[in-house]
A and B are shown apart, each in its own frame.
Chain A
């Protein structure tokens, strides 16, 4: 969803939004009032069969290409799409399409040199079918006007069918909303209206990504944030839109991996994306209408909290329990605790899946998407002062904000050695906000100047983060013992909990001098942003 959304209304790249749901949900939506407008054209129905081809070593996939042959009655249409994966950053999206005589791939007839180059060298007969999608597609064209009276034309395609790869099958039930004409926000409005009829989720994966996953048995991949390219003289308004889009892309790109749960990094990255989003809200919050910031923040906080327990149990097992197990192999108490923790982790992941399947989450994404597309912060509630600030060059805001956050961290950390845990927790939050602010804006300043500061800040955040992990673990463990049913296993678990808490209480005492040094060295590090501004 997000790759298209960031394209904005100014470019010609196709804007589309995909929803998934149960086949019954799709049938209900097909008859829904939002789609049965009097000016909706008659539906077009088509049976489509697409076979995707690749080399045995999946080179096309690795290059972000999708090579498919569509069977349409007696016709065979060969299509090559670029930019269909995480590698899409290197290509602009483009497509080649042409008729071929049979279902046999014909890479040689492609006359677009850029697409030829992207395909690379293909040995004779090297392309083979990887998976096939079969869907019945019903398409409605909706004409109308949006709330501001602007013309909008949306094509709603309902796809029901299956993906087949290497003998396995998976159901396909999606709605693709494509904007033919009009403001991109109109897509989100329609999707929200459909949400009132029956619940759907936003589908972030393309059909080809799902097909490859089915064919290879590979789990969904997690990803880091895409590089954010901000410049000193760009308008704050554009930077705001870019930062929000970047965070949204980051967390939604990790949704599939988080739901899958086989790699803890999925939930972790999704949480990082959401936290960066909240941090962006606090960076730009003063420039947004108050009501808007509040609901965005509340929804993001809810989503983040829904992922919290899964992350906490992941961290507990991999980072906190593992060192004790290594030191005391064969300890039956620890084994009992490990089993109990796994059970809690499974439960937490179930809750996470439930939360992400709720209409609340889908609505949050849709409202946010529409808000971002339309830059809906430009509304009646925006003050004149905010409007002026949004038109400033970014570097002015960056200097001021970095300064504010830096000072706040120094203030919260004053007298570090004697700070009680609660105060250190407050410092940790301030440091985290400062860290994300520097991450957003570091590109505006020479890397050479920011290097030391960023390293010192990272060390401090990690040290405080460890402190927090231990505090969270203690909380989790107390909760675990209070909620587990009595029995002999419970006693073992309780003993293990005592061991873990004792182990880390002692470790924190040992860690304290190191922590203080880390704080001192951060407090002594020169900031990298505009010095003149800092003195003013």
Chain B
């Protein structure tokens, strides 16, 4: 199993959109996916409730009162971390994670807050020992804008390479209320949008703890 934690102390950066999309990407690929909601607001759980029966199934886990048991027979677990959470709380979730996906927004991008968050992450044990991979995912990007360039510069500054960018599209807001993702939709436009997700998905797939054993001798 690969466990993905989607987290950023800064609110409104699309955490739930990303968590639900990652879970749906795994589910539609035929993997047994679970989505754990650790956010008090419970937006991921709400999304799961409206998810149509005809779509690829995602197991719902209510972790609003803290991490519960790890699900059995699950290939990919995505955790929607609480917004604005304290470092203390995140540590518990971090220990479970193989990858942390940190969404950042170019528009209204809060450099100090995200920068602090990343710095604090670096100080945590599992990451310091590079057991946990950190991936920065740029969300709602208007390509070519000045803010996008500023974000690129920031990321280089903190020593992280991004794992792609998600273009700003209204469809994300439209389908969120219906329990859907772009992975559940057909059509050429959605196919193009799905390509935005390829780098982060590939990054997650390469963080499989089952690959560690092999790395020893190579």
Chain A residues in contact with chain B, CB under 8 A? 55, 57, 59, 62-64, 85-87, 89-90, 107-108, 110, 113, 116-117, 120-123, 218, 221-224
Contact = CB atoms under 8 A, between A and B. Distances in A.
A416 to B, nearest CB: 36
B210 to A, nearest CB: 5
B216 A223 contact: yes
B202 A57 contact: yes
Given A63-B210, A116-B31, A222 B25 contact: no
A63 B26 contact: no
Interface string B116-151: 000000000000000000000000000000000000
Of B32, B206, B208, B210, most buried by chain A (CB within 10 Å of CB) is B210
B18 to A, nearest CB: 15
B204 to A, nearest CB: 8
A57 B213 CA distance: 17
B37 to A, nearest CB: 21
Given A120-B31, A123-B202, 8 more contacts: A59-B205, A59-B206, A62-B211, A85-B214, A90-B210, A90-B213, A222-B217, A224-B217
Given A108-B30, A113-B32, A120 B214 contact: no
B216 A123 contact: no
Contacts of B26: 121
Contacts of A63: 208, 210-211
B217 A86 contact: yes
Contacts of A86: 213-214, 216-217
Contacts of B76: 121
B75 interface: yes
Nearest to B25: A121
B31 A223 contact: no
Nearest to A266: B217
10 contacts: A59-B211, A87-B213, A87-B214, A89-B213, A110-B30, A116-B75, A117-B75, A121-B26, A121-B29, A122-B29
B60 interface: no
Interface string B16-30: 000000000110011
A219 to B, nearest CB: 10
A62 B216 CA distance: 12
Contacts of A218: 218
B217 to A, nearest CB: 4
A160 B213 CA distance: 33
Contacts of B85: none
Interface in B164-183: none
A120 B218 CA distance: 22
A250 to B, nearest CB: 11
Nearest to A111: B30
A176 to B, nearest CB: 25
Nearest to A120: B205
A223 B217 contact: yes
B155 interface: no
Interface string B198-212: 100110111010110
A110 B31 CA distance: 11
**Chain B contact patch, size range:** 20 to 34
Contact of B208 (A108, A116, A120, A222): A120
A108 B30 CA distance: 7
Contacts of B208: 59, 62-63, 120
A87 B210 contact: yes
A64 B214 contact: yes
Nearest to B215: A62
Contact of B206 (A57, A222, A223): A57
A158 to B, nearest CB: 31
B191 to A, nearest CB: 8
A116 B213 contact: no
A283 B184 CA distance: 62
Contacts of B32: 113, 117
B126 to A, nearest CB: 20
A122 B31 CA distance: 10
Among A62, A85, A110, the most chain B Cβ lie within 10 Å of the Cβ of A62
Contacts of A55: 202
A117 B217 contact: no
B201 A123 contact: yes
Nearest to A121: B29
A89 B213 CA distance: 8
A121 B31 contact: yes
Contacts of A59: 205-206, 208, 211
A117 B31 contact: yes
Contacts of B75: 116-117, 120
Nearest to B212: A87
Contacts of A223: 216-217
A121 B214 contact: no
A108 B211 CA distance: 22
A62 B25 CA distance: 21
Contacts of B217: 86, 221-224
Contacts of A120: 2, 31, 75, 205, 208
Interface centre among B31, B32, B208, B213 (most CB of A within 10 A): B213
A270 B91 CA distance: 42
A370 B218 CA distance: 31
A59 B31 CA distance: 16
B23 to A, nearest CB: 11
